[in-house]
Amino acid sequence: MGNSIYTIYMPRHAFSRRTNADLVSRALQQLDVPAYVNDRHDIVVDGLKVSGSAYKIINQRAYHHGTMLIDADTEALKGCLSKKRMNKTGIISKGVESVPSPVTNIRDYSFTVDHQQFCESVLAEFIHDYNDGASIEPIIFDEEHIEQLPSKVKETAKELQTWDWMYGQTPEFTNTIKNEFDWGHVNGSIHSKHGMITDAEFSTNSAGAHEVTVVSAISVGLKGCRYSPNAVKEAAAKITSEIPGLISAENEHLVEDMDRWLSNKL
């Protein structure tokens, strides 16, 4: 809460990260917030980031999605984004890595600014740049508008809640992990692409037959499972189905140990 979201949608040929950031920066200046755009196209005040952006460019269209910290709980935000919290393990990814930046709220520079004022100021700058200064009446979305949306929009809304959309396009990465159990040390490496485990390799220094068997079986069983906290349970079910008796009353506690560990790592 306390964070406003905006999107600028335009023809691809007219798209410019800098131009859009400048537009929003000018809107803040109209609210007596001394904002400017840095070399990374972030909107900052006194060197502190108040806005982050994401972009999507497809066919002939371009989208610039942005945030604006009005009066958010920045301590909670820092806690969510801290390296200690995010760096669960040794993940090596092919995705674009975010660059951590110190943040602040624009409320710290203007005690009266709020979400509505921010929206109106951005709209005024947008009208100035793209509508020759001619006023327009904004559409305020409410429940009535939602009911009138085309069926395709509603289908898309459902799609955005599916596993395939949320995780199925995750960039390829490798997660290297290790843990010390009462029965031995375990090293592991999990390779994932599009949210699925494509390869897994676990080893243990335990000399026990059950320990070696279970760790090896889970390595094989994880292949083809979703990269999720339930991966070990899914792998164990697969093992039980394909090799009945391999997981037994004598070694199921080892599976439970692996499950508890990996459910916090995946």
pLDDT reported for residue 142: 86
CB 247 within 8 A of CB 255: yes
**Among 100, 103, 114, which Cα is nearest to 4's?**
114
pTM: 0.68
Taken in order 53, 54, 58, 63, is the CA torsion positive or negative?
negative
Please, which residues have CB within 8 angstroms of residue 180's CB and are 6 or more apart in sequence? 186
Q: Which mean pLDDT values do the consecutive 10-residue runs of the chain (266 residues) have?
A: 94 91 96 95 95 91 95 87 57 72 94 94 93 89 87 92 92 94 96 96 94 96 96 96 94 96 92
Q: Which residues pair with 186 in a beta bridge?
A: 179, 204
pLDDT reported for residue 146: 85
Q: What is the H or E stretch that residue 26 is in?
A: helix 17-29
pLDDT reported for residue 82: 63
pLDDT reported for residue 91: 80
CB 33 within 8 A of CB 109: yes
pLDDT reported for residue 88: 52
CB 240 within 8 A of CB 231: no
pLDDT reported for residue 217: 96
Q: What is the DSSP letter of 103?
A: B
Q: How many CA atoms lie within 13 A of 161 on its CB side?
A: 5
pLDDT reported for residue 89: 56
pLDDT reported for residue 144: 86
